[in-house]
Structure 1
Amino acid sequence: MNSKTFVRSHMDVMSVADFFTVEVWTLRGLVRYHVFFVINLAKRQVEVAHIGCQVNGAVMAQVARNMTDSYDGFLKGRRFFVCDHDPLYTKEFRQILTDSGVEVIQTRVGCPQQNGYAESIVSAIKRECIDHMIFFSEKSLRRAVGQYVEHFHHERNHQGLDNLIPFPNSPQASNSSGIDDGLGLFNFADQYLGNAPDQGAIEHGDSSLFPIRPIAISTDKYFVELSGKVGGSSTPVNVVLTTAALAGSLAYEVRMNNTVDWLSVAPSTGTLSPNSTQMLTLTLQTASLSSGDKLEATILVRFDDGFSIPITVNAEAL
């Protein structure tokens, strides 16, 4: 059995681990910090087991004891622990894991692909976070790594989980067809009520706020500006949805936060046919506004297949 087949066959009881280093400016000058993390493969759950500038056998032994704690250790219920041949995985470290019932599997020297899941995490956190920052203290490094792990768990889609989010933030129950108050609109998977999860999609272009997903529906505008006189009329803006070769007709519904009473969208529901267009008219309702009010909202054009197209709306009352 090759390593790839072995990992896939035992993913439910396997964790993998790795280190990466970060240079931090301190009062003593530039100091190299080690970040040691462990991943529960089945859940794509990341545990930062240690961050420090001094990593030795005694430190790693304590890390091993913490991870194998019988009450809440991260390796509780794991059978296999995959790591490379870094000398920081000392004999004592490996023995503590073995004594707790976790078999340590060390990859072959010069074969990082055998620990590909851990290597991909190192690449992701460096590319998406660490490489964009300069750290001036251990505290700032811990904050950045901690916030990235939160993003990794609650906001980042994972191909290995069918592009779902490992631990999505669940919405509060609501009888409204709109979006619950206070719900973050930039995170789409499993964020909205219904039988299928909303998975936000932008057909063309690139954006750091929205995931790019190949869907057969696009829009001519992802950003709309509205204005109108208080007590008077406002100029509506049209947004055109265009479909490609859909498998069949697809129903849609426009959703927005319950508090966005200053915006109307028509038609708010409908059905899209293959190779067709649908015009949505967005209008600013100024009756409850005061002159000078500036407003912002994100609406979702949600489809029956669980995907949504986000449209950001900025408005000003004159």
Structure 2
Amino acid sequence: MSVENPLWGAPRIHGELLKLGFEVAQSSVAKYMVKRRGPPSQGWRIFLRNHAPEISAMDLFVVPTIGFDLLYAFVVVRLDRRKLVWINVTATPTAEWIARQITEAFPWDEAPRYLIRDRDRIYGSVVTRQLRAMGIRDKPTAPASPWQNGFAERLIGSIRRECLEHVIVLGEVHLRRILREYARYYNDIRTHRSLNKDAPIARQIQRTGSIKSHAILGGLHHHYARA
């Protein structure tokens, strides 16, 4: 008999065995149990896996322009389908600005239960009050633990590798237009290994018709579809 639940201890397993008609002492169960190698409670990764449909993550990243000015891009991503639900740009990020972006990202009936963020001081009381008003539980990551916001970090890495490293940003309006075009490509067209080679907004399989190529971001990417 194999017991695969890592949260069960000897008393719980002993109780199950008794109900299955096995007369055995609890001490014997404890003696032959496989020793637990990790903590008894769920870790961060298990929390993410169990609650992914109810979790989103947000983050800021810096983008330099041709004139060596610094712009700040803000992203929000849903964990279950990796959907990029919001992206915007500002030259002067503030807590008030971020609070407005969260409101725009989530209509009141679509807010997630949890929102992961890092411990940047820009997420002040204005942001946390807005989250509470929307019924969202704020989940800051541990200090110096960027992996705990891995979904947002991976998204930002994709944006840099697949878009920003290949263009020269002229200014705030230009960057906003580029990022929003990439967001449409990311959500509607780009396939993800974690989604079984599907896009965040599921793509239908096309089996008939001639294949046409549509350039995206000036030919940096292409969308192949049947006409």
TM-score of the alignment, normalized to the shorter chain, above 0.5: yes
Residue 120 to residue 139, structure 1, CA distance change in 2 (3 Å): same
Shift of residue 169, structure 1, vs aligned partner = 5.1
Separation in 2, partners of 1:137, 1:47: 23
Q: Say if 2:60 is the partner of 1:19.
A: yes
Equivalent residue runs for 1:250-289 within 5 Å: none
Q: Say if 2:183 is the partner of 1:153.
A: no
Which of 79, 92, 98 does residue 60 from structure 1 map onto? Answer: 98
Separation in 2, partners of 1:143, 1:137: 10
Separation in 2, partners of 1:50, 1:41: 19
**Matching residue's letter, 2:121:** P
Identical-pair percentage: 23
Separation in 2, partners of 1:121, 1:63: 18
Shift of residue 114, structure 1, vs aligned partner = 0.6
Separation in 1, partners of 2:88, 2:180: 12
Greater RCO structure (CA 8 Å; 6+ sep): 2
Shift of residue 137, structure 1, vs aligned partner = 2.0
Separation in 2, partners of 1:147, 1:122: 15
Separation in 1, partners of 2:111, 2:127: 18
Equivalent residue runs for 1:163-182 within 5 Å: 163-168=197-202, 170=204, 178-179=208-209
Residue 116 to residue 86, structure 1, CA distance change in 2 (3 Å): same
Counterpart for residue 138 of structure 1: 172
Separation in 2, partners of 1:65, 1:150: 20
Residue 151 to residue 68, structure 1, CA distance change in 2 (3 Å): closer
Counterpart for residue 79 of structure 2: 41
**Matching residue's letter, 1:47:** V
5+ long unaligned stretches in structure 2? 1-41, 216-220
Contact 1:35/1:48 (CA < 8 Å) preserved in 2?
Answer: no
Equivalent residue runs for 1:225-244 within 5 Å: none
Bigger share in strand: 1
Shift of residue 52, structure 1, vs aligned partner = 0.5
Residue 80 to residue 45, structure 1, CA distance change in 2 (3 Å): same
Q: Say if 2:68 is the partner of 1:30.
A: yes
Counterpart for residue 50 of structure 1: 88
Q: Encode CA deviations 1:121-178: one digit per residue, 9 max, x unaligned.
A: 1111101110111111222211211111111112211111112122255589xxxx74
Shift of residue 60, structure 1, vs aligned partner = 2.1
Shift of residue 113, structure 1, vs aligned partner = 0.6
Shift of residue 98, structure 1, vs aligned partner = 1.6
Shift of residue 31, structure 1, vs aligned partner = 1.6
Shift of residue 102, structure 1, vs aligned partner = 0.6
Residue 45 to residue 257, structure 1, CA distance change in 2 (3 Å): closer
Separation in 2, partners of 1:60, 1:210: 32
Name the SS for the 1:47 alignment partner: strand
Q: Computing the radius of gyration over CA atoms, which structure comes out larger, 1 or 2?
A: 1
Name the SS for the 2:69 alignment partner: strand
Aligned residues: 181
Bigger share in helix: 2
5+ long unaligned stretches in structure 1? 188-207, 212-255, 259-318
Q: TM-score, normalised by structure 2?
A: 0.70
Separation in 2, partners of 1:83, 1:57: 13
Contact 2:86/2:105 (CA < 8 Å) preserved in 1?
Answer: no
Q: Encode CA deviations 1:3-49: one digit per residue, 9 max, x unaligned.
A: 11100000011001111111123xxx432111111011122210234
Contact 2:88/2:176 (CA < 8 Å) preserved in 1?
Answer: no
**Matching residue's letter, 2:162:** E
Separation in 1, partners of 2:197, 2:80: 14
Which of 118, 123, 131 does residue 152 from structure 2 map onto? Answer: 118
Counterpart for residue 128 of structure 1: 162
Q: Say if 2:135 is the partner of 1:101.
A: yes
